Amino acid sequence: MLYFIASVPLLFLILFLISYLRDPRKLINGLLFNGFLITFFFFCAFFYIYIDGPYQYVVLAFPLMLLIVLIPFGVLALIAGLFYNAKVLMDKEGKRFRNSLTLIMAIVILTLIIVNIVNPEQFFPEYLQPLFGGAGLVVVYVLLHMFNFLTAYGLNQWNRPKWDQDFIIVLGSGLINDRVPPLLASRIDKAIDFYHRQKKVTAPPKIIFSGGQGPDEGISEAEAMQSYAVEKGIPIEDTIQENKSVSTYENMKFSKKIMNQMKDEGKYHSIFATNNFHLFRAGIYARKAGLDSQGIGSKTAFYYWPNAMVREYIAVVVMGRRRHFLIVSCIMGFSLLLAIISYLFT
């Protein structure tokens, strides 16, 4: 029995390693790693019960009591932290909707807690209980998906490309007064740093500056980025402009066309440079475009991280909106069916 239970976390670990080593940009990596952690925890709990020792139940009770005490305080600290981060971010970056995502998240979490305390089910007929159960399952699904995303997101940050790249794609992010702003400059600087590090080992890569011209921009992002890099000492012959793209997916797709024209498809190595908070989603777009490219991320100010993480998660959810809509529809549809049956037989 013990060996069978031990094989479950081992299986999750093997599947995770296979999946991660093949492609660290997959969301399923988070699911498999979390599956390993959870099943390993249960294995440890079973092991303590299985062995006949004088203090095994005390060993189990202590972490459980710790969780019971820490979780409520952790949730309250999270809400307070989100409110505080929203204030700092809007003070530094301006009161815009894109900077209010942590504020909205804090309000949503606080609302869910209040609803759970009030227990609105008591104000409705009993036959509607399945609908509340379905809504609860949807919340659990969202939390599990978010947990898997955060795990996959964090694991992807540990990936380190090799010093054998033929191309570096620098993803554009908009200009300010036709000049490279600090956020975009940090991406270019990251690519320049990689360029010089690889140059010490082997031939330097070509840097592709990818970004089209916005309606309020006098030049393309690619041109501005190229000028910035040349001013920083990068030889212009080692730079390439991709000035048609208007999204991250097009950054990857159009840059791939350029690389395929310069070298046979599959005969080159490439990476992309962006901000570290954007690495995971950009990697997903690279995979969709058919690029076997990993990312290198420039550092982001700590106060900017939480809001950026929320935005990245929302974007990933939108990417899989059909699957999420189908799952939520099935849950609520089944709940509605149970409510109808309960009403008919009440």
**pLDDT value of position 56:** 60
**Which residue from 102, 151, 145, 156 is spatially nearest to 282, judged by alpha carbons?**
156
Q: What is the dihedral of CA 209, 215, 218, 221, to 10 degrees?
A: -10
What's the CA gap between 286 and 267, in Å, rounded? 17
Residues 6+ apart with CB under 8 A from 331: 134, 137, 138, 141
208 bridge partner residues: 169, 240
pLDDT, position 83: 92
CA–CA distance, 286 with 280 (Å, rounded to integer): 10
Note whether 327 and 141 are within 8 A (CB).
yes
The token duo for 301 is 């100010």
Q: Which of 168, 151, 178, 123 is nearest to 258 (CA)?
A: 168
Q: Give me the pLDDT at residue 146, please.
A: 92
Q: Output the pLDDT for position 47.
A: 72
How far, rounded to the nearest angstrom, does the alpha carbon of residue 228 sit from its chain's CA centroid?
A: 29
- Provide the pLDDT for residue 63: 66
- For residue 240, the SS3 value is strand
Burial of 102 (0-12, 13-18, 19+ CB in 10 A): buried
How high is the pLDDT of residue 291? Answer: 93
Residue that has been written with the tokens 């993480």 in this structure: 309
pLDDT, block means (10 residues), the chain with 346 residues = 80 94 91 92 75 61 71 85 90 83 92 86 86 92 93 86 94 88 92 95 95 88 95 95 94 95 88 93 93 90 87 92 95 94 84
